[in-house]
Structure 1
Amino acid sequence: MDRRQFLIGFAAAMIAPQSSAGLVGNNTLPGEHSHIALWNGVPPGGGGPSGSETLSAKGALSNITCPSLSVFRPKTPNGQSVLIAAGGGYKRIEMGSEAWPAARWLSALGYTAYVLSYRLPDESWRDGNLVSLQDAQRALRIIRRREKYVSVLGFSAGGHLLGMAVTRSDFSSYPAGDALDQTPAYADRAALIYPVITLETPYSHTSTHKLLVGPHATAAANAQWSVQNFVTATTPRMFLVQAEDDPISDPHNTLIMAAACLRERVPVEMYRYSSGGHGFGMGKPGTPTIEWPARYKAWLRAV
């Protein structure tokens, strides 16, 4: 399915029912959105898949040929912005169930939402496991040039990606190609929702681990791609959410990240729910996870 056709189809579904809080039940997109290509020409390293991007019936994006930002502007901007990265185990990007609903919800609150379409490491890019991080760092630089306040919101593998980006803002994942690449890539705050945080044993069963370091990775490689190892006193304040019955990202992931933040005296707010599984997006009806967006809203407004 063509991505533009999918977006039109979502926009036509604006009458879908919502919960009383307006947080779940509506995956539609705002009417106004635009796109920004991340790179001027070929991305760092070159290579990549051929053909067009692929979008599944449920809104999972893959075959990313042109990494980009989709910008969702609110009718009444509040002067703040959020970079959103959906998950998908670095095999796909779950736009329909995670990124687009979050963008719609945030823009309704007045935040300018930027949805990241990042390169996937198993799609023939020559820079391999660095490509997603390259895109996230470039996206932060682009947004910082446009916005005064920048926070990030990452789901699952997207939480791992943005967690790496905000804790390793001084890491040069690619050679500078223009003046923008000489500017800092950092966020003012970060929200990570059922994130993959650590790739170290015994938490090495995920698709994130398989695609970034491989099934036979050394302990050093696992550590190099584990977010908690890069938390410092300069890490932005954190907001963490996870269900205790998560079968994909072990529930210890948020505990590990919270402990790293406390160790470095980074302000952290964490919500863990008894049920909800994995991939609940803006909340799974019938589970306590439907509450987290209200907590996130209060956190955004308080800091």
Structure 2
Amino acid sequence: MNRRNFLTCSTAALIALRMSMANASLIIPDSEGAKILLWAGTPPGGGGPTGDEIVSAKGALTNVSRPSLRVFKPERPNGKAVLVAAGGGYKRMEMGMEAWPAAQWLTARGYTAYVLSYRLPGEGWADGNKVSLQDAQRALRIIRSREKQVSVLGFSAGGHLLGMAVTATGEATYAPRDHLDSTPAVADAAALIYPIITLLPPYDKTSTHKLLVGPHAPEAEDAKWSVQTRVTSRTPRMFLAQAEDDPISDPANTLIMAAACEHDHVAVEMHRYASGGHGFGLGRPGTPTMEWPAAYEKWLNA
């Protein structure tokens, strides 16, 4: 199944989305709003896959040759935008489970949602482990040029990616392409849901660690790619949510991030739930994780 026709899961129903690709313009309008290509021409470093994106029956996205933003616009915009990144261990993006339902949840509440399709480091890109972060920084710059207030919402590895992006505001990960790249890649707030935060031992057995630094990386490299080591007083306010029985992202991740924020006097709100596992998206029925969207909405409106 390719991006021209696919079905995605929302919390209420199966919603048909049509995605198209063209080379004539950086911004490509269609019936769902707009697809914004992050880069005119070849992305930084070159390499990567060819052909159409591949979307599984459950909405997992791979083979991203042209990273982009998909814009979801509300009927009554409230003037605020959210950049959304799905997880998938940097091997895929779980759009159908996480990003698309979250975007529709946001638009129902007046937020303009920008869903990020980022390059995956294992798909042959010359810039290797930097490509996802390059895309996230570029996405923030593009959204900043269009919106007055911007926050981010990342799930799992998408939480790691956006956590890195909002704490690496002064880091140049690619050579400037145009005027946008002279502007800061910053966010006003960040929500990280069952995120991968640290790559340091003993939390170095994740797919995120394997794909970004490799199984035998020196501790200095683990630290460099750990979100908590980058927190400063300039880090935006944080919202964290995780289940205490998470088998993929050790539940210590949110504790580690919260402690880093508190150390540098960054406002942080953390919600931990007794059950729900990993990958619960907007909440796993029958578990207390169903409560996090309401807490997040209240935090967003603060």
Q: Is the 8 A contact 1:27 1:101 kept in 2?
A: no
**Equivalent residues in 2 for 1:231-246, closer than 5 Å:** 231-246=231-246
Q: Give the distance between the partners of 1:101 and 1:41, measured in 2 at CA.
A: 30
* 1:67 alignment partner in structure 2: 67
**Equivalent residues in 2 for 1:112-191, closer than 5 Å:** 112-191=112-191
* 1:28 alignment partner in structure 2: 15
> What one-letter code is carried by the residue in structure 1 that aligns with 2:84?
I
**Equivalent residues in 2 for 1:77-88, closer than 5 Å:** 77-88=77-88
TM (normalized to structure 1)?
0.93
CA shift, 1:179, in A, is: 1.0
CA shift, 1:173, in A, is: 0.5
Q: Give the distance between the partners of 2:213 and 2:132, measured in 1 at CA.
A: 13
Q: Give the distance between the partners of 1:97 and 1:142, measured in 2 at CA.
A: 25
Q: Give the distance between the partners of 2:81 and 2:90, measured in 1 at CA.
A: 24
* 1:223 alignment partner in structure 2: 223
Q: Secondary structure at the match of 1:102?
A: helix
Unaligned runs of 5+ in 2: 18-30
CA deviation string 1:100-119 (max 9, x = no partner): 00000000100000000000
Q: Is the 8 A contact 2:87 2:158 kept in 1?
A: yes
CA shift, 1:261, in A, is: 0.3
CA deviation string 1:145-171 (max 9, x = no partner): 000000000000000000000011110
> What one-letter code is carried by the residue in structure 2 that aligns with 1:64?
V
* 1:20 alignment partner in structure 2: none
> What one-letter code is carried by the residue in structure 2 that aligns with 1:132?
S
* 2:26 alignment partner in structure 1: none
* 2:249 alignment partner in structure 1: 249
Q: Give the distance between the partners of 1:199 and 1:179, measured in 2 at CA.
A: 34
* 1:103 alignment partner in structure 2: 103
Q: Is the 8 A contact 1:199 1:222 kept in 2?
A: yes
Q: Once superposed, which parts of structure 1, at least 4 consecutive aligned residues long, lie more than 3 Å away?
A: 24-32
Q: Is the 8 A contact 2:243 2:275 kept in 1?
A: yes
More strand by percentage? 2
Q: Secondary structure at the match of 2:36?
A: strand
Moved more, 264-273 or 49-58: 49-58
> What one-letter code is carried by the residue in structure 2 that aligns with 1:3?
R
Q: Secondary structure at the match of 1:28?
A: strand
- Distance verdict in 2 for CA 1:282–1:26, change over 3 Å: farther
Q: Give the distance between the partners of 2:168 and 2:263, measured in 1 at CA.
A: 17
Q: Is the 8 A contact 1:29 1:100 kept in 2?
A: no
Q: Give the distance between the partners of 2:155 and 2:265, measured in 1 at CA.
A: 24
Q: Is the 8 A contact 2:3 2:52 kept in 1?
A: no
Moved more, 272-281 or 33-42: 33-42
TM (normalized to structure 2)?
0.93
Q: Is the 8 A contact 1:156 1:193 kept in 2?
A: yes
Moved more, 222-231 or 44-53: 44-53
Q: Is the 8 A contact 2:67 2:119 kept in 1?
A: yes
Q: Give the distance between the partners of 1:296 and 1:221, measured in 2 at CA.
A: 32
Q: Give the distance between the partners of 1:245 and 1:101, measured in 2 at CA.
A: 23
CA shift, 1:74, in A, is: 0.3
> What one-letter code is carried by the residue in structure 2 that aligns with 1:224?
K
Unaligned runs of 5+ in 1: 17-23
> What one-letter code is carried by the residue in structure 2 that aligns with 1:225?
W
CA shift, 1:29, in A, is: 6.6
